[in-house]
Amino acid sequence: MARPAVLRKPLGFVGRYEHKPGAEKNRTHYCPGCGHGILHKLIAEALEDFEITDRAIMISPVGCSVFAYYYFNAGNLQVPHGRAPAVATAVSRANPHAVVMSYQGDGDLAAIGGNHIVQAANRGENIAVFFVNNAIYGMTGGQMAPTTIEGMKTTTTPYGRNPLTDGYPMKISELLDSLHAPVFIARTSLHDPANIRKTRAAVRKAIQYTIEKKGFSLVEVLSMCPSNWKMDAVSSQEWIRDVLIPVFPLGTLRDRGSEAVEMKRPVPTFDPAKVREVLGVGGGKQKALARRRVDPKYADPSIRIAGFGGQGILSAGTAIANVGLEYGYNVSWLPSYGPEMRGGTANCSVKIREGSIGEPEATQPTVVIAMNRPSMEKFEQILKPGGTLIYNSTLIEVEPGRKDVETWAVPITGIADGLGNTKVQSMVAVGAFAGVTGLFGLDDIKGLLPAMFESEAMVLLNEKAVEAGYDYVTGMRR
């Protein structure tokens, strides 16, 4: 498509920045003179010219460009600090037709994400990486980055970066150029119009190679950060020219685009039977167990299981999720790694659904299994009205506070002790869950145990545990 005889805001940007909070939908959040905006424009122009806005995916980092997704007319993902290459890998592997771009600052890419970028480059992922080198952490207020040059003052190197204590400026392009796989690596700069045009050419080449599935491209762009360099925008350009470029020489380090052929990775396969086999669930058999008729009040449960670390909380959760899977339900299992883990308590969320599962965390559970008192006191609060609370009456001597829920006092630890092994309390809890909800049949669970435990003795013991929990609650019901 011939471009009209006008240079205007490229269509690779959205018209108004609707995702940007506040009233100001027409200006970026960047400081005056910041290089990010220039690079954004070059990328947006390429998205328009190559007509790929419907299949381009921009991975935004953490750093000043964390909000790149406000601006690009593309698929957008914003990911944890330094992890853009990992997410870009996943997106590009899952959807080889997507044109995946990773946009990263020097703190993001070279410090916290240093290993990610090296591994992605080494695997030759089919992605275009735009690496903004402004020699500093911008967003957090001017700390030293791996790329900070010798003698440069930052908030964390107030006397200037000293290689004896802080190491030397890291030359990422040179470092990656030692790898076999990358196709294109270039360092460019935004310090004057001629170099901005060279950056433009490099950006387009990287995107072109990604479209052609040639593999990994990286464009390192020396970019102004007037705010943290404490200079005006024009002086920042001069500082790049006079001070940064001697440390980070410009040029194309590698361009193997003409030799590189379209990369054809083995097509990923999803074989549920193989997955089951590898995970050791269901012994590789494919047929789901026959669904049981479930009282609507127990159907599609959101479950929270909580107790001391060591009570088998997480394994009770995986067992319930695995059994749910065997019935052909959609399931999720999410352990909590909150600070409370260190205090010796653990909890997990399990969801079992006929339909699809959105959020895996059971923020408003319909079933709570509380194995100790602090857990009951904490999680009965969020139990849905009319929900079900199964609590370990061996260790919890108080009555539950909630009166608008169904409560089941089950001496879970005591039952396990009676079987000669406190460790099986998690399977007692699973049995109690099955007995209360009717979601799983006792024989069905027993049939799955051989795939869950290695030794025959453990299978037998856990069979007894499940049965004891199950029988206890069904006995209460009678």
Partner 1 sequence: MGEDRRYPFCEIDQEECKGCGLCVASCPAKVLEIDQGKLNSKGFHPSSYKGQGCLGCGNCFYTCPEPGAVTVYLKGYVPEEVK
Ligand X SMILES: Cc1ncc(C[n+]2csc(CCOP(=O)(O)OP(=O)(O)O)c2C)c(N)n1
Query: 367-370 and 302-308: which strand pairing?
Result: parallel
Which residue, 109 or 306, is less far from ligand SF4 as judged by CB? 109
Phi, psi at 255, each rounded to 5°: -145, 95
**Rounded Cα–Cα distance for residues 13 and 121 (Å):** 27
Q: Which two tokens stand for residue 212?
A: 């052609």
Determine which residue in the list 38, 43, 47, 65 makes contact with ligand X, applying CB under 6 A: 65
Which residue, 64 or 370, is less far from ligand SF4 as judged by CB? 64
Nearest C-alpha neighbor of 446 from the set 430, 437, 62: 430
Picked from ligand SF4, partner 1, ligand X, none, the partner binding residue 38 (CB below 5 to 8 A depending on kind) is partner 1
Binding marks (x or -) toward ligand SF4, 47..66, rule CB under 6 A?
Answer: -----------------x--
Task: Find the part of the chain contacting ligand SF4 (CB under 6 A) among 96-104, 151-159, 212-220, 226-234.
Answer: 226-234
**Which residues would be at the binding site for partner 1 (CB under 8 A)?**
4-10, 13, 24, 26-28, 30-38, 40-42, 44, 71, 192-193, 196-197, 200, 226, 232-234, 237
Which residue, 142 or 282, is less far from ligand X as judged by CB? 142
Which residue, 181 or 243, is less far from ligand SF4 as judged by CB? 243
- Which DSSP category does 240 fall into? I
Would you count residue 144 as binding ligand X (CB under 6 A)? no
Nearest-10 Cα torsion for 168, 172, 173, 176: 120
Which residue, 227 or 347, is less far from ligand SF4 as judged by CB? 227
CB 323 within 8 A of CB 445: yes
Q: What is the DSSP string of 254-305?
A: EE-TTT-----PPPP---HHHHHHHHTSGGG--SPPPPPP--GGGSS-EEEE
- The C-alpha angle with vertex 55 and arms to 49 and 56, in degrees rounded to 5, equals 65
Binding marks (x or -) toward ligand SF4, 125..154, rule CB under 6 A?
Answer: ---------x---xx---------------
CB 66 within 8 A of CB 139: yes
Picked from ligand X, ligand SF4, partner 1, none, the partner binding residue 429 (CB below 5 to 8 A depending on kind) is none
Task: Find the part of the chain contacting ligand SF4 (CB under 6 A) among 31-39, 78-86, 123-131, 341-349.
Answer: 31-39
- Which DSSP category does 342 fall into? G
Determine which residue in the list 106, 326, 463, 467 makes contact with ligand X, applying CB under 6 A: 106
Least distance from ligand X to the Cβ atom of residue 113, Å: 8
> Count of CB atoms within 10 A of residue 179's CB?
16
C-alpha separations of 211 from 92, 100, 204, 208 in Å: 11, 9, 10, 5
Give the interface with ligand X as residue ranges (CB under 6 A): 62-65, 81, 105-108, 112, 132, 134, 136-140, 145
